[in-house]
Structure 1
Amino acid sequence: MFLKIKKIPSVNWSSDKPYNFKPKFSTFFFLCFGLMLFGLGEGLLIVSFTGASPWSVLAQGISLNVNLSIGTITFLISVAVLILWIPLGQKPGMGTILNAIIIALMIDLCIKFVPTPSNYLYQLILAIISVITVGIGGGIYLVSNLGAGPRDGLMIGLQKKTNLPVAAVRAFLEISVVSIGWYLGGTVGVGTLLFAFGIGPCVALGLYLVGKIFD
């Protein structure tokens, strides 16, 4: 059962080490494909108008107060988070850098070209599809093993410095950014809750599917 997965599977296109800047083409392809799915899902959740993921709520809130797109703000947040890696002793990989770029681009493309459903039921369905898409994309991206994303790296670095449980560190980060984003005008709603409770199982599903397909 995919909910019992405890480790990231290694498949024939997984990188042997996270700081590999000359990966196989297949590794690079699946890394980019996973990140594109991840960014598409994040964008679809925003478009659904039911709420957004915590970090997208922050980007949305900042975007409402400055003349920049949500995707651009998402990229700038990633850069700011990477700067915080320095005192935490974290090292970026190829996946870290592409994470910041591809997800930001996909969010802006999605917002530009995908219309918001007029029916609330369809908006909820779109929100559910978006969380599943983020999860599967995240699973593919993690299996490529080319470096943690900016936010994941921040979580890992803070956990090492504080020695607090990973769950507590992640919860602190997510609650902090969604609170700031909501204060600035970002949309918090059912979609935010769907993401909060659904992203874990959906990433596990992504890892399970990748492991099964490429086993």
Structure 2
Amino acid sequence: MRAGRRPARRAPAGVGRGARLVAGLVLYAASIALLVHPQLGSMPWDVLGQGVARVSGWTFGTATVVISLVVLVCWVPLRQRPGVGTVANVLVIGALVDPFLALAALLPEPLPLAVRGAMVVLGIALNAVATALYVGARLGPGPRDGLMTGLVARTGGPVRLVRSVIEVVVVAAGWALGGTVGLGTLAYALAIGPLVHVLLPRLTVPADG
């Protein structure tokens, strides 16, 4: 190293993790819009969000925030502790999903089925990247993730079974309230696990970073 030249300073580890968290949550909100707008079936929790919005007259974003808060209340008997990422999950996604849906609504209608299908595929892929980013930031689980892990810890059941039961109940309730269930819902259920499994190790912040 040349005399008088100072070594470059590294950004604090928390900054990098926070940036990953925010990027993941922004992309997550965008992925919701890509899956909801084509009306080919939404993610399980968004089926419930659509149903609640339809019955209550709230916007989809408001319904999403309310559901997240109710889920957080369910954390109490499960002895789950929220983190910064948990709070950010509620606030960032809740604030951005309505604007993203408004942008999607600017697309010409009716959209060809091929375009709607492409939006669903893109939405699933983007959701997997977003999930790996915000989970990999290690700043706290989202409300729904914490509910699943809390139930796994309390019941001793396998993760896959507990998650499946939660999502079946959520989809059934959302469909009964008027949410959209379709091929997009099924495609998401089949694809998201394998995609996140591949992406999460690559996008997780190292324990020392």
> What code does the residue aligned with 2:176 have?
Y
Q: How far 1:210 moved relative to its partner?
A: 2.7
Q: Does 1:105 align with 2:98?
A: no
Alpha-carbon spacing, 1:187–1:165, altered in 2? closer, same or farther (3 Å): same
Q: Match of 1:4?
A: none
Q: Match of 2:50?
A: 60
Report the more deviating stretch, 35-44 or 83-92: 35-44
Q: 1:88-113: per-residue Cα shift (whole Å, max 9, x none)?
A: 10000000011111112222111111
Q: Match of 1:178?
A: 171
> What code does the residue aligned with 1:181 have?
G
Q: 1:172-208: per-residue Cα shift (whole Å, max 9, x none)?
A: 1000000000011100011101111111122234325
> What code does the residue aligned with 2:23 have?
F
**TM-score, normalisation: structure 2:** 0.87
Q: Match of 2:5?
A: none
Q: Does 1:118 align with 2:108?
A: no
Q: Match of 1:21?
A: none
Structure 2: stretches of 5+ with no match in the other structure: 1-9
Whole-angstrom distance in 2 between the partners of 1:107 and 1:52: 13
Asked which structure has the greater CA Rg, the reply is: 2
Whole-angstrom distance in 2 between the partners of 1:53 and 1:126: 13
Whole-angstrom distance in 1 between the partners of 2:198 and 2:61: 26
Structure 1: stretches of 5+ with no match in the other structure: 1-11, 16-23
Q: How far 1:87 moved relative to its partner?
A: 0.7
Q: Match of 1:144?
A: 137
- Stretches (4+) displaced over 3 A: 12-15
Q: Match of 2:200?
A: 207
How many residue pairs were aligned?
Answer: 194
CA RMSD of aligned residues (A): 2.1
Q: Does 1:90 align with 2:80?
A: yes
